[in-house]
């Protein structure tokens, strides 16, 4: 069993080396994320901040949801 395991390990190591060598000889072409990833992330963060900044400051949103003091009880009809 030991020689079989050693042969399998050798085969796996050889395939990993082959894959590494094949990748090293290939030119790395920048992808969309390599070129624009940081700018897209920063643009999205700026847009998110601008929209929520507008919503929180310009729209008349009442943030106190408690009805205490705003609702007056009506008289019972008998």
Rounded to the nearest 10 degrees, how much is the dihedral formed by the CA atoms of 26, 28, 33, 34? Answer: 160
pTM of the model: 0.43
- Give the mean pLDDT of 11-17: 72
List Cβ neighbours of 55 (8 Å cut-off, separation of 6 or more).
61
35-48 pLDDT, tens per residue?
889 999 999 999 99
Tell me the fold of 1-59.
Cytochrome C Oxidase; Chain K (4.10.51)
Two structure tokens written together for 56: 């929180």
Sequence ranges of the domains in the chain: 1-59
């Amino acid at each position: 069993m030991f020689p079989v395991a050693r042969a399998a390990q050798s085969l796996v190591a050889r395939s990993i080396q082959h894959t590494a060598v094949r990748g090293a000889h290939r030119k790395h072409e920048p992808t969309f994320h390599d070129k624009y990833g940081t700018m897209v992330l920063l643009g999205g963060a700026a847009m998110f901040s601008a929209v929520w900044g507008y919503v929180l400051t310009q729209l008349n949103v009442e943030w106190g949801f408690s009805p205490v003091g705003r609702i007056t009880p009506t008289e019972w009809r008998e």
